[in-house]
Chains A and B, each alone.
Chain A
Amino acid sequence: MRDATLLPTRITRLSPVTFALLVGAGALLIVSFQQVAPSPAQLAQGGPRMAELVARMLPPNLEASFLQRVFWRMIETFQIAMVGTAIGVIVSLPVAWLSAKRISPAGLSRHVFKMMVSLFRTVPDLVWALIFVASVGLGAVAGTMTIVVDTIGFCGRFFAEAMEDADRKPQEALFAIGASRFQVLCGAVLPDAMPSLINTTLFALEKSVRSSVVLGLVGAGGIGQELKVAFDLFQYKNASTIILVIFGIVLVMEFVTDRLRTRVQ
């Protein structure tokens, strides 16, 4: 019989495999620090250069003609984000249904849709932008197509999870009276998953605005294109204006979507 006065040990003994894995991970981290982390000397040298760059950026360019150009570029950026997200969300709904476990009408073929969503999600948006710029040319259309793919990758996964998590009891009740899979989707799954779907859509929109800002760096339209030109031509005052506008817009976007999310809850 176990001695009642014996306390359990404070730390659970590690298995040899866990111990070896922990040591390996620690070693990898230390080596990585040595190879890619900034050294104190680099930080000391970089600091003054950064200060010099910031000084050249100030004051931001507030000329009316330049601000007007930035305004229209920002509108284009918004258009890319909105249209790309709208198309992406519409396409994501059937894709999510087809890939969702338990409710997909596609049977085992659902893995094909799941893999497609994974592919869209794992390839970075700048890579998609390069592909679309190469295929449809420079400009906003390439940016919109990039946002569509990026949104399908994001919403496709989270929509599918929301559908899988929907309350099963109403679904069973509707199946029992002969409702088809599509009717169960519309009648029971989507209404139950709706708050989650709206939340995901708002996150996608926020993400799209941020992405569409940088897509211009590779020629896919929007304000990023203006930013690239400013840096290429050493027009740092123009660059600081654009950065401030981007910061303001992203901040406003986060505020608006946060408020909408709170209302949906």
Chain B
Amino acid sequence: MTAQPLHLHEAEDYLGRVIAVLHTMSPERKGPLVAVLDFLLGHIQRTRSDLNALRTDAQQPPLSNTVDELEEIVRETASATNKIMDATEAIERIAAGVPAETRDALRVEATRIYEASAFQDITGQRIAKAVRSLQQMEDQIGALVRGCCDDAAPADACLPLDADDLMNGPQLAGQANSQDDIDKLLASLGA
């Protein structure tokens, strides 16, 4: 049986229930789950940070949220599209003064450029949908992590993780390797 896609309002309901269950769990059992959620949240935040780093105008202040990033992308593609259309309209003006055969050929190509320029509107709308989803996921996971960390969870369970921290999966308290253990392991591997 194929799983049905989850709508965001349903996801919110499920997450609320998950938080309630997490509150009933012992800190030892809850810690790894919180760590995974924190990792997901950190991953989304890093993605946003990477998007910020791709900005072309360093004079502008950092973007504060995903919606700003989206608007920046749409603004930049709109600006590029307008420049393309400026150039195409200029070509059409020049074409008005050339022999009919050449003028018609230029007009056909100009039409193709106009048609291709529709990408700006389409990509803008698609990006808007994707980034809105990302924003909602970020909000939901953040709420889940905060919900888990509100009560007696151990403090280290709520610390942000790096991607490498999860290479072997989250570790249960008491079963974790100490730094010495890790150092010994690395040494045995020749590192």
| Physical interaction between A and B | no
The chain A residues found within 8 Å of chain B, CB to CB, are none
The chain B residues found within 8 Å of chain A, CB to CB, are none
